[in-house]
Chains A and B, each alone.
Chain A
Amino acid sequence: MNRRSPLVWAVAWVGISFLALPLVALVARVPWARLAEILASSAARSALWVSLQVSVTALVVSVVLGTPLAWVFARRDFRGRSLLRTLALLPMVLPPVVAGVALLLAFGRRGILGQHLEALAGVIIPFTRTAAVLAAGFVAMPFFVSSAEAGFASLARGYEEAAATLGVGRWRRFRRVVLPMVAPNLAAGAAMAWARALGEFGATITFAGNVPGVTQTMPLAVYLQLEQDPEAAFVLAVVLLAISVMVLAGARAFGRSR
């Protein structure tokens, strides 16, 4: 079809404006004059540092736990597979605050597991860095698993079979044949997971609370600064936007280079 449909283009323009306008407005309203002062403030630097640590740790957890999980989902058939799969992907669509409540009920001080942790080992999870990582990881991991699973499933078995006939063992096959070939999927999944972890708010504030320097991530800082010093909130918001743009661009560049 070579004919341009004006209606389709018009609606598309409305769509892109809807998505782009808020982002443009954010950048436009940033108080550039106060940028240095705000970013240098200890609250901002602390929130940024907490965000980076929490999101990266959550990403690592997602990748380490998620890769074998994705492999099993992609390559093995077993009873209850589709139920477990649904469960594993559920946090993606769960409202974040619901996730926070669920985490409290599992790992909180009166939670199914948490109560025993406190009684036996004196370990308290809510309001700690660990809680922030759990909250971010809980919502982010399904993004990685979903993408990794698609990658593993779509890889033709022939390559692994050929490697096996060459005498190459399971682990080396995975490392040198499978991983390089699914790397784009893994990278895309990791980028999505990291971005989600970075932006996590509802589950974090419910389960990990807002402890400056410990669990006060950038999104929490933005939310609270909005009521105290809105301009500071705008600056932090635009920093988050910049990081998100870089993550997206980086993931796409990586995918393209393959």
Chain B
Amino acid sequence: MRTGFVAVAALFVVACEASGGGERTLTVFAASSLTEVFATVELEFEADHPDVDVVVNLAGSSTLATQLLAGAEADVFASADTIQMDRVTEELVPIVGPQVMATNSLVLVVEEGNPAQIGGVEDLARDDLVVVLGAPEVPVGRYASELLEEAGVEAVEASYEANVRTVLSKVELGEADAGIVYRSDVGSADVDAIEIARQLNVTATYPIAAFDAGEPDLAASFVDFVMSAEGESILAEAGFTR
């Protein structure tokens, strides 16, 4: 019985090490709208740094900020707006940045084929539509409400989701008729995107910052990589602009 326990414990330790292989880990907190683009960034960065394992934690920026303030250890934070980044930098001092790594703009998404015949954001006031938006503290939600206020449109009984990807998936699944997400989110999703007039649209700013959580050099390298020309082209391919 005793030897069995020791054997299992040893196996466990070996398994933990094996995944890293004596590697260094870089923890990146990124807004959910960066899901695909940071997957590519992760691959490229790991290719350049073979001994590094990048772990990306994706969620709504407000959730990530809350986690960081509660003591979560992250080397890099990439937020979808400056408000959430400021919340964090008020308490934690970054070693690099914050720097604006990309911008994004909003787009209206509807069910593929647009069966509800939605023309623009003003249709979000229709009470026959099921509308999903980001919650007010989530950047995309904040941007959307700014936009709707500018346009003088009031969405009736909208559901406020915890992050932009949930907004997108609800439209994709057909449970909601319309939602407001980032242009970069549309990608290969099974939705139709309807442009929003430039004078109404908001520019979402994505700041990125590095922190000292045990790997300061690595964190700084990561931010440098994102801010480099290579990083810029990866972001541009995904629909972001700088």
Question: Are chains A and B touching directly in their complex (CB below 8 angstroms)?
Answer: yes
| Interface residues in chain A, defined as those with a beta carbon under 8 Å from any beta carbon in chain B | 104, 108-110, 124, 126-127, 205, 209-216, 223-224, 226-228, 230
Q: With A127-B157, A209-B159, A211-B159 given, can you name 17 additional A-B contacts, CB distance below 8 Å?
A: A109-B175, A110-B174, A124-B130, A127-B175, A209-B132, A209-B161, A210-B135, A210-B161, A211-B160, A212-B160, A216-B160, A224-B135, A227-B62, A227-B63, A227-B137, A227-B138, A228-B62
Q: Could you tell me the distance between the alpha carbons of A210 and B174 in the complex, rounded to whole angstroms?
A: 17
CB of B208, distance to nearest CB on chain A (Å):
20
CB distance from A115 to the nearest CB of B (A): 9
Find out whether the CB atom of A226 lies under 8 angstroms from the CB atom of B173: no
B73 to chain A minimum Cβ distance, whole angstroms, is: 19
What 1/0 mask marks residues of chain B from 129 to 156 whose CB sits below 8 Å from any chain A CB? 0101001111000000000000000000
Residues of A within 8 A of B130 (CB): 124, 126-127
Which chain A positions have C-beta within 8 A of B138? Answer: 227
A125 to B224, CA, bound (A): 48
Q: Is B178 an interface residue (CB 8 A)?
A: no
Residues on the A chain within 8 Å of B159, using CB: 127, 209-211, 215
Instruction: Rank and list the top 8 A-B pairs by shortest CB-CB distance, nearest first.
Output: A209-B159, A227-B62, A228-B137, A227-B137, A110-B174, A126-B175, A210-B160, A211-B159
In the complex, which residues of chain A have a beta carbon less than 8 angstroms from the beta carbon of B160?
209-212, 216, 224
- What sequence of 0s and 1s flags, for each residue 171-187 of chain B, a beta carbon within 8 Å of any chain A beta carbon? 00111100000000000
Binding site for A on B (CB under 8 A): 60, 62-63, 65-66, 130, 132, 135-138, 157-162, 170, 173-176
- Interface SS of chain A: helix, strand, loop or mixed? loop
Contact of B176 (CB < 8 Å), options: A127, A216, A227: A127
The answer to whether A104 touches B65 (Cβ under 8 A) is no
B143 to chain A, nearest CB (A): 16
- Shortest CB-to-CB span from A172 to chain B, Å, is 47
- A109, B170: Cβ atoms closer than 8 Å: no
Residues of B within 8 A of A228 (CB): 62, 136-137
- The distance in angstroms between the C-alpha atoms of A31 and B152, with both chains bound, is 37
B66 touches A227 (CB 8 A): yes
Distance in angstroms from B175 CB to nearest chain A CB is 5
Closest to B63 in A: A227
CA distance A211 to B176 in the complex (A): 13
A230 proximity list for chain B (CB < 8 A): 66
Which of B136, B159, B174 has most A Cβ within 10 Å?
B159
| Cβ contacts under 8 Å, B175 to chain A | 104, 108-110, 126-127
Task: Name the distance in Å between B71's Cβ and chain A's nearest Cβ.
Answer: 14
**Inter-subunit contact A227/B65 (CB<8 Å):** yes
Instruction: State in angstroms the CA–CA spacing of A212 and B160 once bound together.
Output: 8
Quote the shortest CB–CB distance from A117 to chain B (angstroms). 13
Chain A residues closer than 8 Å to B157, beta-carbon distance: 127, 211, 213-214
Complex CA gap A226/B130 in Å reads: 26
Contact for A104 among B60, B62, B63, B173, CB less than 8 A = B173
Contacts of A215 in B (CB 8 A): 159
Instruction: Please give me the residue from chain A that is nearest to B138 by CB atom.
Output: A227
Find out whether the CB atom of B173 lies under 8 angstroms from the CB atom of A110: yes
> In the complex, A216→B65 CA distance in Å?
23
